Amino acid sequence: MLRAPWFYVAASAVYFGLCYLIWRPLPWPLSTATRAFCLLLGSLLYFPGLGLVLWARLTLGRMYFVSSTSEAPLYADHRLITTGPFAIVRHPMYLGLLLTGLGGILIYWTWTFVFVAGHIFGLVFRARREEEALSAAFGQEWETYRLRVPAWIPRFHR
């Protein structure tokens, strides 16, 4: 069921429909100077976050598949990806989504982005499932990678 194309279309429609319904301003007014600062800081989080998600997705290529908090299926010919953004952080897509959510709150100042940023809790559980699956599938190769690359805070030096 989760691999069926209709499921992705239906789930996306429900998700984006909900985001549309809660696209309401947050109830806290901001001064002009504070709003300008929020726009600047939000842009510095939002756009690099989107870039990180896209870079990670492209790096995964055909190894990409949507997981859930309950399972993280791997392909029969799955290989461990350790290049591109995965060389500096183990969960670049999830980190990118967090940055996008936080930046979106500051830029758009809506409940929708509070909802989006709140996904980090589910992503932490999903990351654990993925790491368990990768550990079982790749053993020592995974362990070496896990010890070398941090999970959430990027390391830009070797």
Q: Which domains does the chain have, with CATH numbers?
A: 5-148 (1.20.120.1630)
* Alpha carbon distance 103, 57 (integer Å): 20
Q: Name the residue among 131, 104, 133, 134 with its Cα closest to residue 116.
A: 104
DSSP state of 61: G
* Alpha carbon distance 66, 80 (integer Å): 16
Tens-binned pLDDT, residue by residue, of the chain (158 aa): 556 778 878 888 999 999 999 999 999 999 999 999 999 999 999 999 999 999 999 999 887 776 655 567 777 788 899 999 999 999 999 999 999 999 999 999 999 999 988 888 888 888 998 899 899 989 999 999 999 999 999 987 76
Residue 84, SS3 per DSSP: helix
Could you give the residue ranges of the DSSP H alpha helices within the chain? 5-21, 32-60, 92-108, 111-117, 120-148
